[in-house]
Amino acid sequence: MLVFRFRDDLPPGAAESVLAELETFPSRYPAMRNWRSGVNVSTRDTSMTHGFVVEFPTEQDLLDYLHSDSHERFVRERWRPVIERQAIVSIPTAGDAQPIERGHR
């Protein structure tokens, strides 16, 4: 799960462009399952404006995605320049004995 807030000073269309690219991820990374994304509709906490949730069949599938050249390039070139804040939570599935990689950004 990743929740995030875009920077306030973005040029028109920048956020929409990144959101549109995110929507292509499930077709680009076949191990992704149950992709859901959208605007934060909570009235209790509006510190983050958007979020997405995705599942991976195994921890190794998640790690392969996180360490792929295309993911690293997206984060470096497209994500970091437009994001003000983010929070990432990885929850292991039943049977996963170890926590999923800590500290990855």
pLDDT at 69: 96
pLDDT at 7: 97
pLDDT at 91: 87
Collect the ranges in the chain with pLDDT lower than 70.
Answer: 94-105
Q: Which residue, chain included where needed, has tokens 């077709």?
A: 27
18, exposed or middle or buried, with CB in 10 Å at 0-12, 13-18, 19+?
Answer: buried
pLDDT at 105: 43
pLDDT at 49: 95
The backbone region for 13, taken as left when phi is positive above 0, alpha when psi lies in -120 to 50, beta otherwise, is left
Quote the pTM value.
Answer: 0.84
Assign 3-state DSSP to the chain and report helix, strand, coil percentages, each to 5: 30, 25, 45
